[in-house]
Amino acid sequence: LNARNLKPLGRICLGPTTGPDNPDPGIHPTALVVLPDSSRVVFTASNLDEAVEVDARTRKVVRTFDDEPWTGAPPGSYPDALAVHAGRLYVANAGNDDIAVFDLHSGRQLGLIPTAWYPTSLAAGPDALYVTAAKGLGSGPNLRHQWVGNMMHGVLQRLSYARIDRDLPRLTTVALADNGFDKAHRIALARDNRTTTAYLRKHIHYVVFILRENKTFDEDLGDFAPAGHWADRKLALYGPRELPNLFSWAQHDALFDNFYADGEVTAQAHQWVTAASDSDFVQRTWPQYYSNRGLLPNPGWTQSLVPTSLSTGTGGIPGGKANPYAIYTDLSVLGKWTNPWIAYPERLYLFNDLLRHGVSFEDFGEFVSRTEDGAISTAMQAHLAVGFPGWDRMILDTQRARVAIDWMHQHTGTLPHFLYIWLPDDHTAGRSPCYYTPDYYVANNDLATARIIHYLSTTPQWKHMLVFVSEDDAQSGADHINAHRTFAVALGPWVRQTQVTTRYSQVNLIRTVEAVLGLPPMSQWDSNAAVIRGIWRRHPDDASVPVHAQQVPLAFNRGACPDGKLLRRIAGASGQPLSAAWLRAHLRGDSALPAVTQHYTPTSLLKIAGPEQMRQEWTASKGYQSYVRTMRYLRAYASRHHAPLGYYLANDDD
Query: Phi-psi region for residue 273, left (φ > 0), alpha (ψ -120 to 50) or beta?
Result: alpha
**pLDDT at 598 (0 to 100):** 44
**pLDDT at 16 (0 to 100):** 79
Q: How many CA atoms lie within 13 A of 306 on its CB side?
A: 27
SS3 at position 439 = helix
**pLDDT at 605 (0 to 100):** 35
Closest CA to 200 of 541, 536, 643: 536
Buried b (16+ CB within 10 A) or exposed e, 210-233: bbbbbbbbbbbbbbbeebeebbbe
Determine the average pLDDT of the residues in 440-457. 98
SS3 at position 270 = helix
**pLDDT at 620 (0 to 100):** 80
> Rounded to the nearest 5°, which phi and psi values hold at 510?
-60, -45
Contact 404, 440 (CB under 8 A): no
**pLDDT at 334 (0 to 100):** 55
Given a cut of 60, is residue 306 above it in pLDDT? no
CA angle 472, 311, 286 (to 5 degrees): 40
pLDDT (tens digit per residue) in 170-183: 999 999 999 999 99
Q: Cα 563 from chain centroid?
A: 36
- Chain mean pLDDT for the chain: 86
Closest CA to 600 of 627, 564, 575: 564
Beta pairing partners, 419: 208, 362
pLDDT over 70, % of the chain: 85
**pLDDT at 241 (0 to 100):** 98
Give, as one character, the DSSP assignment of residue 307: B
Determine the average pLDDT of the residues in 503-531. 97
pLDDT (tens digit per residue) in 308-350: 544 433 345 555 556 666 666 665 555 555 557 788 899 999 9
Closest CA to 534 of 222, 195, 216, 220: 195
Given a cut of 50, is residue 568 above it in pLDDT? yes
What are the sequence ranges of the domains in the chain?
29-181, 186-527
Sign of CA dihedral 265, 268, 271, 277: negative
Task: Say which residues have a Cβ less than 8 Å from residue 622's Cβ, sequence separation at least 6.
Answer: 237
Least confident of 240-244, 371-375, 452-456, 461-465: 371-375
Closest CA to 189 of 533, 506, 439: 533
Q: Which helix (H) or strand (E) holds 221?
A: helix 217-221
Q: Which helix (H) or strand (E) holds 291?
A: none
**pLDDT at 145 (0 to 100):** 61
Q: Cα 494 from chain centroid?
A: 27
Given a cut of 70, is residue 305 above it in pLDDT? no
Query: 36: how many CB neighbours lie within 10 A of its CB?
Result: 11
Contact 355, 416 (CB under 8 A): no
Task: Say which residues have a Cβ less than 8 Å from residue 516's Cβ, sequence separation at least 6.
Answer: 200, 201, 204, 205, 207, 466
pLDDT band, very low/low/confident/very high, at 378 (cuts 50, 70, 90): very high
As assigned by CATH, the class of the 29-181 domain is: mainly beta
User: Which residue did the predictor score with more confidence, 62 or 636?
Assistant: 62
CA distance 203 to 466: 10
**pLDDT at 650 (0 to 100):** 39
Determine the average pLDDT of the residues in 533-549. 97
Same fold, 29-181 and 186-527: no
Beta pairing partners, 327: none
**pLDDT at 654 (0 to 100):** 27
pLDDT (tens digit per residue) in 133-166: 988 887 777 666 666 666 678 899 999 999 999 9
CA distance 66 to 109: 8
CA distance 611 to 649: 9
CA distance 287 to 483: 17
Given a cut of 50, is residue 604 above it in pLDDT? no
CA distance 180 to 640: 33
In order, the DSSP letters of 351-404 are HHHHHHTT--EEEES------TTSPPPHHHHTTB-TTS--S-TTS-HHHHHHHH
Give, as one character, the DSSP assignment of residue 619: H
**pLDDT at 594 (0 to 100):** 55
Give, as one character, the DSSP assignment of residue 331: G
Closest CA to 469 of 509, 409, 435: 509
Beta pairing partners, 158: 130
Q: How many angstroms separate the Cα of 26 from the Cα of each of 341, 347, 384?
A: 8, 10, 25
The letter for the amino acid at 548 is H
Q: Cα 518 from chain centroid?
A: 23
Query: 250: how many CB neighbours lie within 10 A of its CB?
Result: 24
Give, as one character, the DSSP assignment of residue 87: T
pLDDT (tens digit per residue) in 461-510: 999 999 999 999 988 888 999 888 999 999 999 999 999 999 999 999 99
Burial of 181 from C-beta contacts in 10 A (0-12 / 13-18 / 19+): buried
Helix/strand/coil percentages in the chain, nearest 5? 35, 20, 45
Closest CA to 276 of 615, 605, 530, 630: 530
Contact 51, 43 (CB under 8 A): yes
CA distance 407 to 401: 10
**pLDDT at 332 (0 to 100):** 57
pLDDT (tens digit per residue) in 264-275: 888 888 999 999
User: Which residue did the predictor score with more confidence, 372 or 74?
Assistant: 74
Closest CA to 510 of 181, 219, 230, 276: 276
Q: Which helix (H) or strand (E) holds 113?
A: strand 109-114
Give, as one character, the DSSP assignment of residue 580: H
User: Which residue did the predictor score with more confidence, 648 or 168?
Assistant: 168
SS3 at position 206 = strand
Least confident of 309-323, 332-346, 578-592, 619-633: 309-323
Q: Cα 516 from chain centroid?
A: 22
Pick the CATH number of 186-527 from 1.10.1660.10, 3.40.50.720, 3.10.20.30, 3.40.720.10: 3.40.720.10
Task: Say which residues have a Cβ less than 8 Å from residue 66's Cβ, sequence separation at least 6.
Answer: 49, 50, 109
Beta pairing partners, 119: 133
